[in-house]
Amino acid sequence: MSLNDFDPHTSPFLSHLIELRDRLLKAILAVLLVFLPLSFYANDIYSFLANPLLKHLPEHSTMIAIDVASPFLTPFKLALVVSVFLAVPIILYQFWAFVAPGLYKSERRLVLPLLIASTFLFYLGVAFAYFVVFPLVFGFLTTTAPVGVTVMTDITKYLDFILTMFFAFGVCFEVPIFTIVLVWTGFTSPAELADKRPYVVVGAFIIGMLLTPPDAISQTLLAVPMWMLFEIGLLCSRFFVHTGDGEDKHPKIIEDHETDF
């Protein structure tokens, strides 16, 4: 007996599983639809992402492919990652469509803007890494090779490096979202976060040290934006402070729940 044979009214748990399956299939289909045309331009996409390094390679130096299949597989891997990256709005919409019916009206008013803002901030972090960080980092690293050493980076290792950097900057640019959620859930308050500002600054530089290459430029370029984004999140979080206690909020939630459904 398949899942579709169950009555959703008598089997609510299975109906949720069916809904989840459908949403996942739609998200995967969206990624595949984006990947198919991008696969024809996989080499061009890789060349575009390799441009920050290629600009700073010494004269007569090029990137190399160590593995036999890497000239073919590496660009296709990148095309798949870019497909997921471009399909994120659709993936998040499927996630939102799945969880929204179970949220209260007040929660839906907050979660949807946060999803949109988090997507924008992640894209912003990736763009910041590509257009600001990479030129400075590669311009520095390619000039530090000892005499007699030619800089010739493997295409697979380069892809792994930039994907790690993209992910690091994308996630770290979510600091305002994390700050707002912490305040909105009542876990902390803007005043308490402001008091912990010195620890946040130190933590930002520690994260920059752990997630970036061992040079002061990239560490600073990650830590300083994190600090600034924390200040922005701290400012915005003042609009999401819970003013009532649990007894005051509970009747309001019940009322919202009853009016929504």
Q: Is residue 181 part of a domain?
A: yes
- Cα 75 from Cα 73, distance rounded (Å): 6
Q: Is residue 129 part of a domain?
A: yes
Q: Is residue 118 part of a domain?
A: yes
Q: Is residue 185 part of a domain?
A: yes
Q: Is residue 97 part of a domain?
A: no
Q: Is residue 99 part of a domain?
A: no
Q: Which residue has the higher pLDDT, 165 or 250?
A: 165
Report pLDDT digits (tens) over 178-231: 998 888 888 888 889 899 999 999 999 999 888 888 778 888 989 999 999 999
Total domains, the chain:
1
Q: Please calculate the CA angle 252-256-261 and round it to the nearest 5 degrees.
A: 150
Q: Please compute Rg for the chain using Cα positions.
A: 23
The structure tokens listed for 219 are 């560490």
| Residue pointed to by tokens 């915005």 | 236
Burial of 226 (0-12, 13-18, 19+ CB in 10 A): buried
Q: Name beta bridge partners: 154.
A: 64
Q: Is residue 15 part of a domain?
A: no
Helix (H) or strand (E) segment spanning residue 111: helix 105-128
- Cα 208 from Cα 125, distance rounded (Å): 14
Domain that holds residue 126: 37-88+104-260
Q: Is residue 94 part of a domain?
A: no
Report pLDDT digits (tens) over 124-177: 999 999 999 999 889 888 888 888 888 889 999 999 999 999 999 999 999 999
